[in-house]
Structure 1
Amino acid sequence: MNVDTVKKEASVRCDDLLLDSQMCFALYSTSLLMTKVYKPLLQHLSLTYPQYLTMLVLWEKDGLTVGEISTRLLTDPGSLTPLLKRLEVEGLLSRTRSRDDERVVIVELTSAGRALQAKAQQVPQCILEASGQSMEELQSLQKKLLKLRANLQDSL
């Protein structure tokens, strides 16, 4: 190997370690900015972003267990409990122990929680507008991200 080849290979390896070359940073920084765009929209609903995600799960299917919500959100049930308690205090949901197994907690929307869904209807359109992309472009990106997520889950 000559000196120029060694220098070229070293340069490529160094470029691989540039922050802007990292897929993880592109995803991380985009996620941070997406959450910032959501923040004022969700303040109008008196929800944090994690609370909004939880409400989306329950609007899709009410009466889930904490474990089912946790699985759907790819989070730990223990970290979900304080969030659910806060939503319960806000009157948006109720938590009850299962009659069959008291270790299982069932989460159900209250009428206020169901009513909040109507107020949240404008959020996706606002996000679409903020993205500066078409619905088709965002759907294509989402499909690619879901495939990436599945591949990463499979690698664990």
Structure 2
Amino acid sequence: MPKKFKFRLQRVLEYRKLLKDGLHKALLEKNQTVSDLEKKEEQILQSLSEAKITSPVTSGELMSLLGNYITRLRGELAVNEENLLVARRDQQEALIQYREAAKEEEVLKRLKEKKLSAYTEKYEKEEASFLDEIGTLKGNMQFGEK
């Protein structure tokens, strides 16, 4: 029975997987942040369009309030757009880091598969050689007895 295959870089592979999983979680959080900011932008734009479409205002005080409301919405929109740009940049950086970590993990997985395949092939050859030797010895013993 051959000894069990032991991949020397197994701990590194496990660490890379943990790192990749952590980066994947961070990427999902960045995606959610971008999605939330996009929804907020849509809501602000909707509020702006509703404020502009409202019925004609005759009172000066109401016009002033509506103007202040629209100004505040535009300010919120500007802040949200800036936050969205930052969030998208963070999202892209997280995606790049995740892809790099996934590549590194994949390289180690392929190396492990290659080493396991070589290990298996080596022991199959040794086993076949051993069985051939046993067969030869058994044949020689039977042939020698006759």
TM over 0.5: no
Higher share of residues assigned helix:
2
Higher relative contact order (CA 8 A, sep 6+): 2
TM-score (norm 1): 0.24
Higher share of residues assigned strand:
1
Structure showing greater Rg: 2
